[in-house]
Structure 1
Amino acid sequence: MYRLLFRLVLSRLDPEFAHHLAFLVIRVLGWPGLRAITRAFTRPDRSLVVRTLGLEFPSPFGLAAGFDKEARGIPGFGALGFGHVEVGTITALAQPGNPKPRLFRLIPDRAVVNRMGFNNAGAEAAAPRIERARRQAVRPIIGVNIGKSKVVPVEEAIGDYLVSTRLLAPHADYLVVNVSSPNTPGLRGLQELDKLEPLLAAVRDAAGGVPVLVKIAPDLTDEQVLRIAELTLRLELAGIVATNTTLSRDGLVTDPAVVAAAGDGGLSGAPLAARALAVLRLLRAAVGPELCLIAVGGVTTAAEVRERLEAGATLVQGYTAFLYEGPFWARAVNRGLTS
């Protein structure tokens, strides 16, 4: 039913407008009465529980950062069956993001190009919403993804991240340092070790014991991935999120004119799967069996989620396929994982 609706209606709407419409429905599903009814049909089986980061995740499958930028839909996403919700990316300063249009579908590739630019109302506005969601008796695990404010020079990035850390860590189950979005100028340069090590150490020390992970790009070389893996172990961080969106446009089947019209931005969805899986395997071999690795990039089906788990993922996240599969995607994945 949803696929027919997508083909006939949603695919004809501006992608960002369609996203906002869907998000309104998700927020309504988070209302207490409707949340209980919805959860009766979507609750993950107890056999899917994962214990990591000192937490109990109801399912290994969660929602990646980027969908709930303002931390407004956490109860609704939990009602739909996601075991965890990573909100953000949230910045210390409020910012409107990049000019519109900034979100584009590549439907033949089941992919999305986005150059949203961390549009959000800032850490101070998000903190009380996360705190309220965390007080719910039944809720998903809440991760908070933080990034650099666009107007802050790279040289002052540590102080900017620390503002977000101090405001948000007290309300987060875990914290993710995003240094890998392609849509904030200079951000990916923070993946260079001389910049990354002091940043991660500062956030770790300011987080007050909340688990801290780092999110990396798929466009790093294998050597760079291994260096970040070694740094993560040396700093005793809680884990790595792999991977963010890619700048590559290789192998797409969408009409090249449509791809060109979409322009710059990060590509997510099915075309990212092979590289994201390769980075995951590389990381697991490098960090050993214990470190938490959250795999994200190009998963749609339960079989693909299971493949990531078998390749060494502790948890798996999705985002882009949600736009194509509809609101009961997490329920379908969780049921597939138990079969």
Structure 2
Amino acid sequence: MQKMQKYSKLRSLGVVTAGATALCFGITVYQNQDHLIRTFVMPAVRLLPAETSHNLAVWACKYRLYPASDYMDDMNLHNSFFGRLISNPIGIAAGFDKNGEAICGLKDLGFGFIEIGSVTPLAQDGNPKPRVFRLINDRAIINRYGFNSDGHEVVAERLRKLREREDFNAVIGVNLGRNRDTQTPVNDYVAGVRTFGPVADYLVVNVSSPNTHGLRDLQSKAKLTELLVAVNNARADLKNYEKVPVLLKLSPDLDLDDMKDIVEVLNKKQCRVDGLIVSNTTVARDNITDIKFVNEMGGLSGEPLRARSTMLIAQMYALTKGNIPIIGVGGVSSGQDAFEKIEAGASFVQIYTALAYEGPDVVDRIKEQLSSKLNERGFSNVRAAVGSNYKQYLPSK
């Protein structure tokens, strides 16, 4: 038994060492020729367990091992983001940097805004491992992390230290979650508003992750009303509350009646939000080709989610009459994908899974392709394209 345990530890050490070697090689290659990282390095990194690869990527960003992007964002990508000027509308979605450790490194990659989290009031480990799975043929990931988090105070202190730096200018959102065993979920979000309101550029009320039991129930009309009233009251108590936009993140598994109920809630003065994030991961498995993952629990992200999330963006854009800004997320890996989200009604776009499959240069490629697409279609800037063709993405009656 001891020999087996020793062998297992040596094998694990070998795997991590190989991963670190691959990562360092990837950084060296990236400094010389970006496309090689997709051709050689990313396939090598995918030989590692999915969560190990994720942790290595966060570590590389934390210590700013990736060279900073030298791509100059075109003027047609510049935009106003809830009162802040940003040079491009491409952000990193919550779930990558859960604890606010890699913000400066992510800024280096060329993101226009950065969302961290989900962050829970108390630190928690999340769900048991393994909890992340690659669907390589589908260019997708299934995760059931379950809000593993360092907790409010630790993450907030990291943000406070960043804000004290004179050279720091990133736009940061904090995605708020609830603790797994909480008896008062509304209070968890209120605590998040109070803790992060003074240090975040925007806050996200995440009621749409499929990996915390009962969380999605908060999207129901009565519970959502109670939650948003409490969140807005907590924001009003902050000295700088007018500068802290609150966004609501929705599930892609809502039906039309669910969406209508949510919009009815949002139309109430005491429940209004500044924006929507559409969408979180899906529990649907109807369009994946790797059948061994069909029954794997967790949220699916990546290419199989792309069309579903775009359709939901168009539906929410129509239901809200374009009056609530939308951040579109789900399956974006090219400028064309980003443009589709924008013409469906999104003002901004986030990525995550594409970063895992294609490496850090995907950010610049998306921006360059998006800028070209806007010019090709005759739009002077991103704002002019928002919702320009949303009807195309609505489900046929």
TM class, shorter-length:
over 0.9
Residue number in structure 1 paired with 2:38: 3
- 1:215 corresponds in structure 2 to 249
- 3-state secondary structure, aligned to 1:94: coil
- Would the aligned equivalents of 1:78 and 1:139 in 2 still touch at CA under 8 Å? no
The reply to whether residue 279 of structure 1 matches residue 308 of structure 2 is no
Q: What amino acid is the match of 1:239?
A: G
Tell me what 1:68 maps to. 97
Distance 2:300 2:41 in 1: 20
Deviations along 1:280-307, one digit per CA (max 9) or x if unpaired, are 0011111123321111111110111011
User: Does residue 1:246 correspond to 2:246, yes or no?
Assistant: no
Structure number with larger C-alpha Rg: 2
Q: Does the Cα contact within 8 Å between 1:175 and 1:212 map onto a contact in 2? A: yes
Q: Within 2, Cα distance between the matches of 1:258 and 1:227?
A: 32
* SS, match of residue 9 in structure 1: helix
Measured against aligned partners, the alpha-carbon deviations of 1:295-323 in whole angstroms (never above 9, x if no partner) come to 11111101110111111101111111110
Residue 8 of structure 1 and its aligned partner are, at CA, apart by: 4.2
Please tell me the residue identity of whatever aligns with 1:104.
Answer: F
CA distance in 2, matches of 1:57, 1:173: 12
Amino acid at match of 2:170: P
Shift of 1:6: 4.5
Q: In structure 1, which of residues 100, 104, 107 is the aligned counterpart of residue 129 of structure 2?
A: 100
Deviation at 1:58, TM superposition (A): 2.1
Higher relative contact order (CA 8 A, sep 6+): 1
Local SS of the residue matching 1:2: helix
The separation in 2 between residues aligned to 1:245 and 1:186, in whole angstroms, is 15
Letter in 2 for 1:187: L
**Displacement after TM superposition at 1:223 (Å):** 1.4
Which of these residues, 273, 277, 282, is aligned with residue 237 of structure 1?
Answer: 273
2:265 matches 1:265 = no
Q: Is the 8 A contact 1:90 1:146 kept in 2?
A: yes
RMSD (CA atoms): 1.6
SS of the residue 1:100 aligns to: coil
Higher deviation after alignment, 283-292 or 134-143: 134-143
Q: CA deviation at 1:230?
A: 2.9
Q: 1:249 to 1:193 in 2, by over 3 A?
A: same
Counterpart residue type for residue 120 of structure 1 = S
Greater Cα offset, 86-95 or 197-206: 197-206
Matched residues in 1 for 2:114 and 2:133: separation? 23
Matches within 5 A, 1:7-86: 8-29=43-64, 38-39=68-69, 41-86=70-115
What is the CA–CA distance in structure 2 between the aligned matches of 1:276 and 1:316, rounded to whole Å?
Answer: 11
Alignment-derived partner of residue 145 in structure 1: 175
Task: Give the match for residue 122 of structure 1.
Answer: 151
1:334 equivalenced with 2:367 (yes/no):
yes
Counterpart secondary structure, 1:267: strand
Task: Give, in whole Å, the separation in 2 of the partners of 1:16 and 1:138.
Answer: 29
Report the secondary structure of 1:175's partner residue: strand
Query: Once structures 1 and 2 are overlaid, which stretch shifts more, 21-30 or 72-81?
Result: 21-30
Partner in structure 2 of residue 200 of structure 1? 228
2:378 counterpart residue number = none
- Measure, in 1, the Cα distance between the counterparts of 2:335 and 2:170: 19
Are 2:208 and 1:180 aligned? yes
Say which is worse superposed, 85-94 or 131-140, in terms of deviation.
Answer: 131-140
2:328 is the counterpart of 1:295: yes
Q: Deviations over 1:250-279 (max 9, x none)?
A: 01111x12444xx20000111011110111
In 1, the alpha carbon distance for the partners of 2:210 and 2:40 equals 31
Q: Deviations over 1:122-148 (max 9, x none)?
A: 011100212233445353311110011
**Cα distance change, pair 128–44 in 1 and its aligned pair in 2 (3 A):** farther
Measure the CA separation in 1 of the matches of 2:84 and 2:345: 18
Distance 1:240 1:258 in 2: 30
What CA distance in whole angstroms lies between the structure 2 residues aligned with 1:27 and 1:92?
23
Q: Which residue number corresponds to residue 132 of structure 1?
A: 161
**Residues 226 and 282 of structure 1 are in contact (CA less than 8 Å); yes or no, is this contact kept in structure 2?**
no
* Matches of 2:161 and 2:50, distance apart in 1: 29
Cα distance, 1:78 vs structure 2: 0.8
The one-letter code sitting in structure 2 at the alignment partner of 1:287 is T
Q: CA deviation at 1:205?
A: 2.0
* Residues 155-178 of structure 1: per-residue CA shift (max 9 Å, x gap): x11112111221111111000000
1:27 alignment partner AA: K
Q: Give SS of 1:159's match.
A: helix
Instruction: Please give the secondary structure, in 2, of the residue aligned with 1:38.
Output: coil
Q: Contact (CA 8 Å) 2:311, 2:344: kept in 1 or not? A: no
